[in-house]
């Protein structure tokens, strides 16, 4: 029987815990269990935001389990990367926002996992890096593609080609993380942010995430046209009427996702 490497809590604020101590390494089994957790999140209409974090304080996720590398010689795509790409894509394409709470190390595949999230909160002692070239391999689960889109090609090349680590302050300056909080407080801050998102209109939140993601791959005119179409959808919802009514009544809105 496989060990439980992923913890899942469903609800308006869903939580996914990486549980492969002490460093929460990415193994094939962890990836398979993460796929099941993401499928459960996608199928639960009550979920409005997700928090992703690693157990313990040493690492969010320190990367791939290097012990698996030898048996992947000559077959890394079929044995590892195709599965990871599918699951990481599944995470990135969740309809609801995902917030990574990062304490300790986020390295290699762990940083690639965090890059799939919409927001990243780091404890001030967190460390970030893509050290794969030091092992004679490349970041193969999205690092060479997602990192430049977030921090730009110059910083991405520095992080990947030199293979060093940067601290939370440098990650914040580069735009890699959204917020830096005292060490040990990342999960509490991520939960607070998720609760704020969960109070917003769920239809509008999902559409806003989709529009922002689409902006990277569209011309401005195409993006504005899509924004107009999606705004029509939002303004046809009961949630829009509830939001306006709550504003004039000076009360919190009760959104139902309708």
| Residue of 15, 112, 189, 230 marked catalytic | 112
**Percent with pLDDT over 70 in the chain:** 93
Band the pLDDT of 23: cuts 50, 70, 90. Answer: very high
The residues, ordered by sequence, that sit 6+ positions from 100 with a Cβ below 8 Å of its Cβ are 51, 52, 53, 60, 106, 113, 114, 117, 119, 120, 121, 190
What pLDDT sits at residue 135?
A: 84
Band the pLDDT of 16: cuts 50, 70, 90. Answer: very high
Mean pLDDT of the chain: 93
**Percent with pLDDT over 90 in the chain:** 84
Tell me, yes or no, if 158 is annotated catalytic. no
pLDDT over 70 at 24, yes or no: yes
Tell me, yes or no, if 199 is annotated catalytic. no
Count CA atoms closer than 13 A to 257's CA, side-chain side.
Answer: 14
| Residue of 15, 17, 132, 230 marked catalytic | 132
Report yes or no: 211 and 227 within 8 Å, Cβ to Cβ: yes
User: What is the distance between the alpha carbons of residues 103 and 89, in angstroms, rounded to a whole number?
Assistant: 23
| Model pLDDT for residues 171-201, shown as the tens digit of each residue | 999 999 999 999 999 999 999 999 999 999 9
What pLDDT sits at residue 84?
A: 87
What pLDDT sits at residue 249?
A: 95
Please state the rounded mean pLDDT for residues 226-250.
93
Band the pLDDT of 258: cuts 50, 70, 90. Answer: confident
- Six token digits for residue 219: 């011309």
pLDDT over 60 at 31, yes or no: yes
Phi-psi region of 56 (alpha: psi -120 to 50; beta: other; left: phi over 0): left
Q: Structural domains in the chain?
A: 6-198 (3.90.226.10), 202-249 (1.10.12)
């Amino acid at each position: 029987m496989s060990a439980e490497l992923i913890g899942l809590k469903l609800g308006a604020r869903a939580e996914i815990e990486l549980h492969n101590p002490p460093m929460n390494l990415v193994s094939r089994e962890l990836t398979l269990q993460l796929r099941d957790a993401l499928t459960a999140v996608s199928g639960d209409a009550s979920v409005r935001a997700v928090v992703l974090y690693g157990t313990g304080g040493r690492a969010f996720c320190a990367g791939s389990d290097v012990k698996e590398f030898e048996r992947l010689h000559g077959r890394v795509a079929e044995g590892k990367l195709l599965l990871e790409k599918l699951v990481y894509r599944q995470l990135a394409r969740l309809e609801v926002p995902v917030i990574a709470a990062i304490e300790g190390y986020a390295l290699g595949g762990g940083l690639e996992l965090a890059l799939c999230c919409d927001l990243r909160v780091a404890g001030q002692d967190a460390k970030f890096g893509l050290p794969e070239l030091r092992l004679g391999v490349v970041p193969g689960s999205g690092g060479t593609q997602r990192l430049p889109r977030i921090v730009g090609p110059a910083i991405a090349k520095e992080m990947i080609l030199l293979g060093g680590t940067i601290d939370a302050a440098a990650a914040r300056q580069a735009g890699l993380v959204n917020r830096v909080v005292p060490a040990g407080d990342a999960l509490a801050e991520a939960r607070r942010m998720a609760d704020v998102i969960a109070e917003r209109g769920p239809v509008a939140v999902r559409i806003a995430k989709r529009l922002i993601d689409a902006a990277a791959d569209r011309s401005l005119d195409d993006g504005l046209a899509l924004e107009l179409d999606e705004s029509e959808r939002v303004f046809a919802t009961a949630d829009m009427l509830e939001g306006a009514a709550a504003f004039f009544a000076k009360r919190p809105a009760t959104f139902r996702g309708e």
